[in-house]
Structure 1
Amino acid sequence: MTPRQRASTLTALKRIGCTAPRSIKRDDGGFEVDDARCRGGRYDIKLNRNFKVVSREKQDRDDD
C-alpha cells in the first residue's frame, strides 16, 4: 500500500465517522480495514479501489 492509498483510505473512513483502524490491507482490487473505531462500535470495512465503502460489518467486541 502506498502512502497516498493509506491517506485516501483514512480520509474515506473519516467521511463516515470512523478513525483508528487496527490495520489496512489491499484486498481484491480494493482495501480492507480491520477494527475501525466508529460511532456505535468497531467495524471491519471494505472499500473499493475508488475508496467507496462496499461493506461494513460490526465487530462483537467493543474494547475501547
Structure 2
Amino acid sequence: MRVAIEQERCVTSGRCAFTAPEVFTQNDDGLVEVLTERPAADQQEAVREAAFLCPALAIEVKGD
C-alpha cells in the first residue's frame, strides 16, 4: 500500500490524524501530512478508514 495526499484539498477536519495517528499528522495550519507513505500491514485498515472518513477526499490509497 502507498498513501498520497492532496494537501490543497484538506479542510483540516483532523479525522485522518485521529484515525491513523501513526500515518497522518497535521501541521501548524491543521493541514494533513503523511508520516509514512508505505504503512505497515497492521496500519492499513486504519489508513483505508481515514481515507473513507476524509470529508475532502484528500487521501489516496494505492495498491494493497
TM-score, normalization: structure 2?
A: 0.28
Q: Which has the higher contact order (CA 8 A, sep 6+)?
A: 2
TM-score by length of 1: 0.28
- Greater C-alpha Rg: 1
Determine which structure has the larger strand proportion and give its number: 1
Which is helix-richer, 1 or 2? 2
